[in-house]
Chains A and B, each alone.
Chain A
Amino acid sequence: MSLELRGITKSFGALVANDSIDLRVERGEIHAILGENGAGKSTLMNIVYGLLKADAGEIYVNDTLQEINEPSDALAAGIGMVHQHFMLVPVFTVAENIILGHEKSKRNGTLDLDQIRADIKRVSDEFGFEVNPDDLVENLPVGVQQRVEIIRALIYDAQVLILDEPTAVLTPQETDELLKIMQKLADKGTSIIFITHKLREVKIVADKITIIRRGKVVGTAQPSASQEELASLMVGRHVVLNPDKAAHPIGEVVLSVKDLAIKDHFGRTIVKNVSFDVKAGEVLAIAGVQGNGQSELAQAMINLEEFVEGSIKLGDDEIVGKSVKRALDDGIAFVPESRELDGLISTFSIAENLILDRHDGAPYAKGINLNPKVVKEQAQEDTKLFDVRFQSVDDPISSLSGGNKQKVVLARELSRPVRLIVASQPTRGLDVGSIEFVHERILAERDMGRAVLLFSTELDEVLALADRVAVMYRGEILAIVPSTVTPQELGLLMAGVVHA
């Protein structure tokens, strides 16, 4: 089935989210739509799926004009969508989730799941999904939950499948599996619209690439285009994806972790036998698949974990057992994994968020009296230095984009004297421009002689920034390797495979 969009236009107030967009997807084609956050990708797809109504423009399915006013129209026309945030009921089984909205009863009035079980098994076997219809969704890994969504679309005869940022929530392994599944689907005739801002994935899987910037189609590209070319089209200016990592003299040991073990509240061991050093002017990246103890290890660096054994030394100071405040004051900058939850207070203003950790002393306060004027002035200065875009420092932080929020976190953590920077997933969910900024900033800090401990699940990021890479697997450090390691080797280590 082919899908064609002609002149799709949609505005929200003064903002034109889609400006006469044309797009054609052929049968069995994987068509990547590439664009930064806020470029209008999701709006476009919500129009195609009937969640939003376009101001102007037409949608053609198999070259006939199709009215799509709500999702049921889209489904009837054979268009299915897998949303970024899954639309599944966690306490239902896979079969129950898939039958939801299409329930059939048996003669005795109970829900008839037999047919749907058979359908799930058929689709699952055909594409190698390995999904059991009777598993509870809440017990399934994110990658499998996503397959449930895909199965649902296929069972209800979707011939055009829209995948909205499908890899944002996946581990590298799950991502690879999804890409394989996409290829299989396309081979069997399903057309796929793949919305993403991840260049590597686009190059692997896409047949055709359309790039959207500020609501307009700014170009199409072949998968053979280089990542730099694609990124530059996306952002609208030249982008450096692999920042220059000049050789740099490495200094003394700044952070020394020895025999560290971390337990959770239930007494389960999350991290064990972890030892490593980070030197001044060096980036040590802790790579690994999400959930192998990196989050806890990162938190332990400033004493946010309760049950820690072993030693973490910053210079000569022991960190374990001190308060969070002491750890920060000793010279650790901490960029938490979750900006929204741990890094910022969404109802606070930009200026207030900039002093979360430093409101106590000079120059912001005298005794217990806060000095709003100084707080504001300093905020103006810090935000300028870190290129935060905003209207007023009094605006709530929630009015900023993800990239600008992260810049606020960086501005707060890096504009005080620090020796060590602990950055956990510092570019998660950011657009290309912001990723570039964060990467340059981290390397700049390294070049200034600070030690950087980077936690990342993104292979590209690890390889672009690290001087050495430690791979975590099931709470332990499997190996520490130089950054000349190939992505393939790193991927194997992350999966727990050690070379003989």
Chain B
Amino acid sequence: MRKPLLRSFSLRALILPALAFALSMFFGGLLIALSDSNVLHKASHPIAFIKAAGASAGNAYLALFQGAIFDPGLAKPHQWYLAFGPLSESLVGAAPLILAGLSVALAFRAGLFNIGAQGQFIFGAMAASYVGFHFHMPIGIHLVVAALAGTLLGSIWGGMVGLLKARTGAHEVIVTIMLNYIALYFLQWILGTTTFLIPGRNDPIAPPVLQSARLPLLAGSNFRLNAGILVAFAVAVFVWWLLNRTTIGFKFRAAGANTFASKTAGISVPFVMTSAMAVAGALAGLAGAVHVLGDNFQLTSGVAGNFGFDAITVALLGRAKPLGTVLASLLFGALGAGAAAMQAKTNTPIDIVLVIQALVVLFIAAPDVVKSIFRLKSLKTAGGLVSKGWNG
């Protein structure tokens, strides 16, 4: 109850994810080596084979690191700091993911499985984009209004799910999956209407968001790093506060952990369902807004990418805790940014990174595998989150 923010995520809790990540990197490395024809040609000479395999995996991971964090090759005379460009890219990609991940995590804690972050993200992006290019407002105010519009629309799109569940018992997993489709096709339709078309053109791309509504850059014009990451961190602290320090969060957690005991104690479970989904929707909507106002600027049908689904993964990886979700999102942001560089520099398929991401999740979901590999008998792990949700 009275744990400070940082201590609530103890070092012990990090051991398992760290080991899972290490294992995933190991298996990913094997895969990289075995998919490299230079390595396979040396199969008849064991020592040369191992050397080549090590070099292949090593180079790929070096490229991955350079694409994600720090690349000395990008430094210019008197502008050494340009080498940090990749880090900026990683953070730009992590910001919306953190917000969408928090959306899924918060719903998890209230016992709801929000598969709908993708749809809520789309509506958030749509609203932020429209406010961003259509209206003219003073700098600052424009940004806030656009972000709030995205948050609000996401909240409505998510809250609807909770209301349906509270009133009719409709399961949130099915409803959110369907609403994701509706959101996507609605976006495709609206991008073709005159409201969203750039005058004189007919390709489905919305006008760019005006400068007054864009998130300010944090590290100068050489980097795309914008205030979105600060918004994401601040919202993570807000979600932690909401869950652990307020009566509303108490109700969310109580209903999420045991509906029967919550009902018996007089907590209104329909209220929890509706309001938790509304807050979750708001977070995913804000994620969409941050993506459009900080990174993408122009709304397209692919604006949401895979954010809404990666959000589920990072929430799972972060054990539905705010700090955990932030760390997992940063990791995924870095992997995402590094993957392109890895492909460009070493011809390693970008899919390898997806495999590594999948392996991390797999090992986290099956902690016993990791524990038996590293012989960590004593390490206690919290029960899986995956098993929850369906009967909620």
Query: Measuring CB to CB, which residues of chain A are less than 8 angstroms from any residue of chain B?
Result: 302, 304, 323-325, 327-329, 334, 336, 341-349, 351-352, 355-357, 359-360, 365, 368-370, 372-373, 375-376, 393-394
* B residues near A348, Cβ cutoff 8 Å: 253-254, 257
Most chain A beta carbons < 10 A, residue from B3, B247, B253: B247
Contact B258 A304 (CB under 8 A): no
Report the Cα distance A331→B361, complex, angstroms.
49
Residue of A nearest to B383 (CB): A347
**What is the chain B residue whose CB lies nearest that of A364?**
B247
B302 at the A interface (CB under 8 A): no
Are A356 and B247 in contact, with the CB atoms below 8 A?
no
Contacts of B265 in A (CB 8 A): 324, 328, 356-357
B-chain residues with CB within 8 Å of residue A304 when the two chains form the complex: 263-264
Having A356-B254, A356-B262, A359-B251, one finds 6 other A-B pairs with CB under 8 Å, namely: A302-B264, A346-B257, A356-B261, A357-B265, A370-B245, A375-B1
Q: Is the CB of B268 within 8 A of A325?
A: yes
A302 to B265, CA, bound (A): 10
A345–B264 contact, CB under 8 A?
no
With known contacts A341-B258, A342-B260, A345-B262, A369–B246 Cβ distance under 8 A? yes
* Cβ contact within 8 Å between A357 and B266: yes
Q: Are B2 and A328 in contact (CB under 8 A)?
A: no
Max chain A Cβ within 10 angstroms of own Cβ: one of B248, B250, B251, B254:
B250
Q: Is residue B267 within 8 Å, beta carbon to beta carbon, of the partner chain?
A: yes
Q: Which of B246, B266, B267 contacts A370 (CB 8 A)?
A: B246
* Contacting residue for B258 out of A334, A345, A393, CB 8 A: A345
Q: Are B266 and A342 closer than 8 Å at their CB atoms?
A: no
Q: Which of these, A343, A368, A370, contacts B261 with CB under 8 Å?
A: A343
Bound together, the chains give a CA A347 to CA B256 distance in angstroms of 10
In the complex the two chains form, is A344's CB within 8 Å of B247's CB?
A: no
Chain A residue numbers with a CB within 8 Å of B260 are 341-342
Contact mask B225-255 → A, CB, 8 Å, 1/0? 0000000000000000000011110110110
Interface residues on B, range: 20 to 34
Chain B residue contacts of A344, Cβ below 8 A = 258, 261
Contacts of B2 in A (CB 8 A): 372-373, 376, 394
State the Cβ distance, B136 to closest chain A Cβ, in Å.
37
A495 to chain B, nearest CB (A): 31
Which residues from chain A contact B268 at a C-beta distance below 8 Å?
323, 325
Chain A residues positioned under 8 Å from B267 (CB to CB): 325, 356-357
CA gap between A205 and B294 in the complex, in Å = 79
Complex CA gap A376/B251 in Å reads 18
Residue of A nearest to B255 (CB): A345
> When chains A and B are docked, how far (Å) is the Cα of A88 from the Cα of B247?
44
Residues of B within 8 A of A375 (CB): 1
Query: Smallest distance from the beta carbon of A368 to chain B beta carbons, Å?
Result: 4
CA distance A325 to B266 in the complex (A): 4
A292 CB to closest chain B CB, in angstroms?
21
In angstroms, how far is the closest chain B Cβ from the Cβ of A229? 39
**Chain A nearest CB: distance from B329 CB in Å?**
24
Tell me the nearest residue of chain B to A350, going by C-beta. B1
Nearest CB of B to A420, in Å: 15
Q: How far is the CB of A336 from chain B (nearest CB, A)?
A: 5
Assembled-state Cα–Cα distance A351/B250 (Å): 12
CA distance A369 to B258 in the complex (A): 22
| A476, chain B: closest CB distance, angstroms | 25
Known A347-B257, A372-B1, A372-B2; contact A336-B264, beta-carbon cutoff 8 A: yes
Residue in B closest to A341 when the chains form the complex, CB atoms: B260
Minimum CB–CB distance for A402 against chain B, Å: 16
* Contact of A369 with B245 at beta-carbon distance under 8 Å, contacts A345-B258, A346-B258 already known: yes
**A324 engages B266 (CB within 8 Å):** yes
Measured CA separation A370–B265 after assembly (Å)? 17
Name B246-293 residues within 8 Å CB distance of A.
246-248, 250-251, 253-254, 257-258, 260-268
Q: How far is the CB of B23 from chain A (nearest CB, A)?
A: 28
Are A368's CB and B264's CB within 8 A?
Answer: no
Find chain A residues with CB under 8 A from B254 CB: 345, 348, 356
Query: Is A351 a contact partner of B1 (Cβ separation < 8 A)?
Result: yes
Instruction: Tell me if A342 and B264 are in contact (CB < 8 A).
Output: yes
Instruction: Output the nearest chain B residue to A327 by Cβ-Cβ distance.
Output: B266
Q: Evaluate contact between A343 and B1: CB separation under 8 angstroms.
A: no
Instruction: Using A323-B268, A375-B1, A376-B2 as known contacts, say yes or no to A359 and B258 having CB atoms under 8 A apart.
Output: no
- By a CB distance below 8 angstroms, the chain A residues around B257 are 345-348
State A394–B244 Cα separation when bound (angstroms): 13
Contact of B247 (CB < 8 Å), options: A328, A343, A346, A360: A360
Q: Shortest 8 CB-CB distances between A and B: which pairs?
A: A325-B266, A356-B265, A357-B265, A372-B2, A324-B266, A368-B246, A345-B258, A342-B264
The interface residues of chain B lying within 8 Å CB-to-CB of A334 are 264
CA distance A349 to B253 in the complex (A): 12
* Nearest Cβ on chain B to A360's Cβ, whole angstroms: 5
Residues of A near B3 (CB, < 8 A) are 394
A326 closest partner in B (C-beta): B266
Q: Is the CB of A359 within 8 A of B250?
A: yes
A334–B254 alpha-carbon span in the complex (Å): 18
| A376 contacts across to B, CB distance below 8 A | 1-2
- Give the docked Cα–Cα distance between A302 and B266 (Å): 9
Given contacts A324-B264, A324-B266, A357-B265, contact A372 B245 (CB under 8 A): yes
A and B contact pairs by CB, cutoff 8 A, 18 listed:
A302-B266, A304-B264, A327-B266, A341-B261, A343-B264, A345-B262, A355-B250, A356-B265, A357-B265, A359-B250, A365-B246, A368-B247, A368-B248, A369-B245, A369-B247, A372-B2, A373-B2, A376-B2
Which chain A residue shows the least CB distance to B3? A394
**B258 surroundings in chain A (CB, below 8 A):** 341, 344-346
User: In the complex the two chains form, what is the Cα distance from A329 to B267 in whole Å?
Assistant: 12
A303 nearest CB across to chain B (Å): 9
Beta-carbon contact of A324 and B1 below 8 Å: no
List the A side residues contacting B262 at CB < 8 Å: 345, 356
Q: How far is the CB of B249 from chain A (nearest CB, A)?
A: 8
- Chain A residue nearest in CB terms to B253: A348
- The complex places the Cα of A357 from the Cα of B262 at a distance, in Å, of 8
B363 to chain A, nearest CB (A): 24
The distance from the CB of B256 to the nearest CB of chain A, in whole angstroms, is 9
Residue of A304, A343, A360, A370 contacting most chain B CB atoms (<10 Å): A370
Closest beta carbon of chain A to B263's beta carbon, Å? 6
B residues in contact with A343, CB < 8 Å: 261, 264
For the complex, what is the distance from the CA of A356 to the CA of B247, rounded to whole Å?
10
For chain B, residues 56 to 112, give those with C-beta under 8 angstroms from any C-beta of chain A.
none
Compute how far the CA of A343 lies from the CA of B260 in the bound complex, rounded to whole angstroms: 8
In the assembled complex, the CB of B388 is this many whole angstroms from the nearest CB of chain A, namely: 11
Residues of chain A contacted by B248 (CB below 8 angstroms): 368
Q: Are B246 and A352 in contact (CB under 8 A)?
A: no
Cα of A355 to Cα of B251 in the assembled complex, Å: 11
The minimal Cβ–Cβ distance linking A116 to chain B, given in whole angstroms, is: 37
Contact of A352 among B1, B263, B264, B266 (CB under 8 A): B1
Are B261 and A323 neighbours in the complex by a CB distance under 8 Å? Answer: no
